[in-house]
Amino acid sequence: MSNPVIIYTKTDEAPALATYSLLPIIQAFTKHSGIAVETRDISLAGRILANFPENLTPAQRVPDALTELGALTLKPEANIIKLPNVSASVPQLKEAIAELQAKGCQIPDFPENPSTDAEKDARARYDRIKGSAVNPVLREGNSDRRAPKAVKDYARKHPHSMGAWSPTSKTSVATMGRHDFYSNEKSVTVPAATTVRIEFVATDGTVRVLKEKTPLLAGEILDATVLSKWALVTFFKDQVTRAKEDGVLFSLHLKATMMKVSDPIIFGHAVRVFFEDVFAKHGATLAGLGVDLKNGFGDLLAKIEKLPADQKAAIEADIAAAYAKGPALAMVNSDKGITNLHVPSDVIVDASMPAMIRTSGQMWNAQGKGQDTLCVIPDSCYAGVYQTTIEFCKKHGAFDPRTMGSVPNVGLMAQAAEEYGSHNKTFESPGQGKIRVVVVPNTVAGLAEAGPGSATPATSPIVLLEHDVEAGDIWRACQAKDLPIQDWVKLAVKRARLSNTPAIFWLDEKRAHDAQIILKVKKYLAQHDTTGLDITILPPAAATLKTLERLKAGQDTISVTGNVLRDYLTDLFPILEVGTSAKMLSIVPLMNGGGLFETGAGGSAPKHVQQFVEENFLRWDSLGEFFALAASFEHLAETFKHAKAKVLADTLDTANGKFLENDKSPARKVGAGIDNRGSHFYLALYWAQALAAQTNDLELQKIFAPIAEKLAASEKQIVAELIAVQGKPTNIGGYYQPDDKLAGAALRPSPTLNAILATL
């Protein structure tokens, strides 16, 4: 087998900036080990350019790295370190397009309402890029996420701050419970491979095809559900009234970046309800401006700037009246007046809810102070997880990081399993009628027994799933293939056995989809030796309570969940346990033998970029990258029987432990110490010292002994050089596509460190 290759992904925002500093260290340290560390650009800007090659000059064109890596995940030699990337909302996509156009790239604008063939083609390409376009391609395996021992030990010795909970807190979660995705879900497991079509049947019998073909494998679970627009709008009106009466903040919690079709629509309804009087009075004017509430209230504010001063002033006066009439809104940035309803991608449920729970169950009000909050989570599939946690904290007080247990997660996500793979099967109903899933003729034999349509004549379509719909209702379908479920169950048993830890499958037998999953879980658990293991199945709210009780008692519990809960829980528990989800070890054992190593779950930190540009200070913590890199080396050592990779893994583990113990993570602000670049220097110092001290590879020991000496001797000078540049604005030549020369110079400002690395 040829020398192994690690692919280190170039992504977006703060982790992309940190890469300019960290990657040269990694490449220098691996240079003499026969391991190549290469980059692939899967950033939002890179993916846009890759989709429009014919619009670019030869010098501007970039390879389609995401497609290349998707193919690589199917090979046993795959070893990919994947940093957090932007899951682009439409406003972010437009910003990135504008930046690239300003740099001379002749790519088309994002067509809001495509009419020509060229516009429809451009819109189709951009739709492939927006939202969570990266993860479904790369995640050809299930997720194994946990806090590394060194991180957990550090949190116990140096506990992060936790807000005090009051038993009289008014904070709570509001959810629909009726006429939502949870209550309307239907699910079926297909017995044989087939292809289905999704269609809308109007009340007059007219059929409109929504999605022509979706192939299904034998044993695949297909579910469909609908959320009522009428019920949603009524729910929002009730919650606005309730928040006002209770004197709490109104706060909407969705995931518009991942649920990129459904959640922006839901977000828009919330904005329209909150500012109902504004739209009643100025609806025609706002419609004429092309205001799109799926992009948030910020879209309205931006577009009224085009109006004559008197018209704009009249609308602004009515906006102020709506603010005064309604409940106080939770703020994203109280200094700048940016509310929870401004931009859909600003408040992401899996990050915003744990942060609120950690800080006494309060969010920021317009005065920049904490206030009890009504957390509005419309769909009731997982709202109970947060309500249970809030009630637990009211009863028992805040958790203590010094004594609390841990909650690793085994998550089903391979081959775009479940909700996050459903964007291409989510639709806003065009009218009254039915939306149904039917078998495409001649694609399977004998499926008539599979679904509700089994009694229909042979000439009628075989209907697997269908729902009555009204105009504006949101309908979606999701898939989960059988092999990923088998692999998920196997991984859960393996983790429970290796760690001797109880495991809970978070599945609700009263939910149609989960009921199908439970049948498979029971079937595949029976194929494994579970003797002596504590493995149970509980619905999410009950699983939450049992996990919290054990967590409080200092006990560990493995959560075994579907795709969305994987995302939610690997923010919720780490933020409570260790203060952040960015320090999680996230391993994806790919189903064909390769490895995908994700660097934490903390998002791509846009505020960090803003701070860097303004102050030349990057507070991004690369600890997730450090742990992912160690796991990547470990994987190489096992799959390639590569002795030097094993030495690099062991010594990096040692360095990571020393890094934490000596508290070399970045400070949060200028003047408080080192930033991200300084943390990279200390990793290099400790790693070189560990390599110089080990005796398993005398060649590496000989190479790194002088490096360790030089780095130690130059510590004060290097740190001084890194701190000297702080506090002044810096130019990186672009937000979504930084200029490599400018960013490289800005992120590597220590000549002394650069010279020592160059000797390798």
The whole-number pLDDT of residue 129 equals 93
Check whether residue 573 and residue 595 sit in a common domain.
no
**Inter-CA distances, 369 with 338, 362, 613, Å:** 14, 9, 27
Most confident range, picked from 83-87, 259-263, 549-553: 549-553
Comparison of pLDDT for 599 and 376, the residue scoring more: 376
Mean pLDDT along residues 425-448: 85
Residue 206 lies in a domain: no
Residue 373 sits in the same domain as residue 406 = no
Cα(735)–Cα(92) distance, integer angstroms = 11
Q: Share the mean pLDDT of the chain.
A: 94
Packed helices 276-288 and 309-325: angle between N→C axes, nearest 10 degrees: 150
Q: Is residue 318 in some structural domain?
A: yes
* 454 has pLDDT over 80: no
The phi, psi pair for 249, rounded to 5°, reads: -70, 145
Q: What is the rounded CA–CA span in Å between residue 264 and residue 270?
A: 10
Taking 70 as the threshold, does the pLDDT of residue 455 lie above it?
no
pLDDT digits over 154-203, tens only? 999 999 999 999 999 999 999 999 999 999 999 999 999 999 999 999 99
Radius of gyration of the chain (CA): 26
- Mark whether 616 and 536 lie in a shared domain: no
Instruction: Give the three-state DSSP class for 606.
Output: helix
Nearest to 538 by CA among 549, 553, 552: 549
CA dihedral 588, 546, 258, 451 (to 10 degrees): 90
Backbone angles phi, psi at 287, to 5 degrees: -65, -40
Is residue 612 domain-shared with residue 728, that is, in the same domain? yes
CA count, 13 A, side-chain hemisphere, 157: 11
Mean pLDDT throughout 295-300? 95
Residues 677 and 533 in one domain: no
pLDDT digits (tens, 9 = 90+) for 525-579: 999 999 999 999 999 999 999 999 999 999 999 999 999 999 999 999 999 999 9
* Whether the predicted pLDDT of 416 surpasses 90: no
Work out the percent of the chain whose per-residue pLDDT is above 90: 90
Query: Chain centroid to CA 140: how far?
Result: 16
| Close Cβ partners of 485 (under 8 Å, ≥ 6 residues apart) | 221, 412, 417, 517, 520, 521, 524
Residue 570 shares a structural domain with residue 597: no
Given 578, 609, 632, which residue is the final one in a domain? Answer: 578
* Contact between 148 and 79 (Cβ < 8 Å): no
* CB within 8 Å of 675: residues ≥ 6 apart: 617, 618, 619, 666, 667, 722, 726
Question: At residue 448, does pLDDT exceed 70?
Answer: no
Residue 322 pLDDT: 97
pLDDT at position 631, please?
95
Clarify whether residues 134 and 235 are in a common domain: no
Q: Please determine, for residue 445, whether its predicted confidence score (pLDDT) is greater than 60.
A: no
Residue 100 lies in a domain: yes
Q: Work out whether the CA dihedral 507, 510, 513, 519 comes out positive or negative.
A: positive
* Residues 566 and 673 reside in one and the same domain: no
Domain assignment present for residue 345? The answer is yes
Number of domains within the chain: 3
Which of the four pLDDT bands, split at 50, 70 and 90, describes residue 444? low
> Chain-centre distance of CA 506, in angstroms?
20
Does residue 104 lie in a domain region?
A: yes
Give the pLDDT score at 722: 98
pLDDT digits (tens, 9 = 90+) for 361-383: 999 999 999 999 999 999 999 99
Burial class (CB in 10 A: 0-12, 13-18, 19+), 146: buried
The 10s digit of each residue's pLDDT in 31-57 is 999 999 999 999 999 999 999 999 999
| Cα separation, 668 vs 605, whole angstroms | 13
pLDDT digits (tens, 9 = 90+) for 125-156: 999 998 778 988 998 999 999 998 889 999 99
pLDDT band at 601 (very low <50, low <70, confident <90, very high): low
Calculate the alpha carbon distances from 105 to 191, 359, 429, 731 in Å: 49, 45, 37, 20
710 in a structural domain: yes
The domain in which residue 282 lies consists of: 172-179+229-379
Calpha distance 437→188 (Å, rounded): 11
Nearest Cα to Cα of residue 63 among 41, 86, 85: 41
Residue 150 falls inside a structural domain: no
Residue 430 clears pLDDT 60, i.e. is over it? yes
pTM of this prediction? 0.87
Element (H, E) at 345: none
Residue 703 is encoded by which pair of tokens?
A: 């190479």
Q: Residue 547's closest CA among 502, 583, 509, 492?
A: 502
Q: Which pLDDT score, from 0 to 100, does residue 421 have? A: 62
Task: Find the mean pLDDT for residues 635-654.
Answer: 96
Per-residue pLDDT, 452: 38
Do residues 522 and 607 share a domain?
Answer: no
* Residue 449 to residue 354: CA distance in whole angstroms: 45
Q: CA angle at residue 262 from 261 to 264, to 5 degrees?
A: 80
Q: State phi, psi for 131 to the nearest 5 degrees.
A: 65, -155
Asked whether residue 34 falls in the same domain as residue 93, the answer is yes
Whether 458 has a pLDDT exceeding 50, the answer reads: no
Backbone angles phi, psi at 116, to 5 degrees: -80, 165
Q: Are residues 596 and 566 in the same domain?
A: no
Q: What is the per-residue pLDDT for 532?
A: 97
Nearest Cα neighbor of 190 from 145, 161, 170, 220 is 220
Q: Do 603 and 544 belong together in one domain? A: no
Judge whether 279 lies within some domain. yes
